[in-house]
């Protein structure tokens, strides 16, 4: 599997310098740096955004801003990314790299609990990317589904959780929450859904 990943990375457009710098600084300065999307996932997000050409994107879990920058690449003129981060200590780094990537004028950054912030939005989103507390995925989905336009897409990251979702008897709260989320999405008539084996698994949903 590792050889395949290396082969894929060798056959991808080169990582932009600003994202390479952000990835390196995240790994040298920030706790849990593996939460950074990185080149493979970032390019996938960039392509999806460019294919959809959204006017409004909602991101839950900014971290240091790597995925935010990638998502902003496909925005229509005048479009915006609304991104929510729970850790205010990352504000300086996020803002610095949004400026370096020349997307700061396309991004609104909110700090706090997404479950408190999302209900305040009156906008309808074309694309949503969820990459935050796995225990709250189902809660996020339930409060944002009515804020996604018909035909819009929702992507939830890490839904395979290093294959732990196959351990049905697990007591780990993150794994249990992801099992419940995946099962509930499968039964939800409001969306079409498919798990994509990108990095740690994406649940990709299209609102009917």
Quick one: pLDDT at residue 91? 98
Quick one: pLDDT at residue 207? 98
Number of domains in the chain: 1
Q: Is the pLDDT of residue 2 over 80?
A: no
Q: How many CB atoms lie within 10 A of CB 73?
A: 18
pLDDT-based confidence at residue 154 (cuts at 50, 70, 90):
very high
Q: Is the pLDDT of residue 61 over 80?
A: yes
Domain span at residue 76? 2-207
Which alpha helices (H) appear in the chain, and where do they start and end? 2-10, 17-29, 38-52, 66-72, 91-100, 114-117, 137-144, 173-187
Q: How far apart are CA 189 and CA 78, in angstroms?
A: 32
Beta bridge partner(s), residue 124: none
Distances in whole angstroms, Cα of residue 150 to Cα of each of 5, 68, 113, 186, 206: 34, 23, 26, 18, 8
Quick one: pLDDT at residue 3? 87
CATH of the domain at 162: 3.40.50.150
pLDDT tens profile 13-31: 999 999 999 999 999 999 9
Contact criterion met (CB below 8 Å) for 116 and 109: no
Q: How far apart are CA 59 and CA 169, in angstroms?
A: 31
Mean pLDDT of 32-59: 97
Q: In terms of Cα–Cα distance, which of 82, 54, 80 is closest to 152?
A: 54
The SS3 of residue 124 is coil
Q: Is the pLDDT of residue 141 over 80?
A: yes
pLDDT tens profile 78-111: 999 999 999 999 999 999 999 999 999 999 999 9
Q: Is the pLDDT of residue 12 over 80?
A: yes
* Location of structure tokens 């390019």: 43
Query: pTM of the entire structure?
Result: 0.96
Mean pLDDT of 52-66: 98
Sheet holding 202-207, edge to edge: 107-111, 80-85, 56-60, 125-130, 148-157, 202-207, 191-196
Residue 36 sits at φ, ψ, to 5 deg, of: -70, 135
Distances in whole angstroms, Cα of residue 165 to Cα of each of 34, 175, 180, 198: 19, 6, 10, 15
Quick one: pLDDT at residue 1? 64
Mean pLDDT of 196-205: 96
């Amino acid at each position: 599997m590792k050889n395949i990943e290396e082969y894929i990375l060798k056959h991808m457009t080169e990582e932009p310098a600003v994202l390479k710098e952000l990835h390196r600084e995240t790994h040298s300065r920030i706790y849990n740096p593996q939460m950074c999307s990185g080149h493979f996932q970032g390019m996938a997000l960039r392509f999806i955004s460019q294919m959809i050409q959204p006017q409004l994107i909602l991101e839950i879990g900014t971290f240091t801003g790597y995925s935010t920058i990638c998502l902003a690449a496909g925005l229509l003129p005048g479009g915006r990314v609304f991104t929510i981060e729970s850790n205010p200590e990352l504000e300086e780094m996020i803002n610095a790299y949004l400026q370096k990537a020349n997307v700061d004028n396309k991004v609104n950054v909110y700090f706090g609990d997404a479950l408190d912030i999302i209900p305040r939005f009156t906008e309808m989103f074309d694309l949503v990317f969820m990459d935050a507390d796995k225990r709250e995925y189902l809660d996020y989905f339930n409060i944002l589904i009515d804020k996604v336009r018909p035909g819009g897409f929702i992507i939830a990251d890490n839904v395979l959780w290093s294959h732990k979702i196959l351990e049905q008897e697990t007591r780990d709260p993150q794994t249990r929450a992801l099992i419940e989320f995946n099962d509930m999405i499968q039964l939800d008539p409001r969306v079409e859904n498919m798990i994509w084996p990108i990095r740690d698994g994406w649940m990709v949903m299209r609102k009917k």
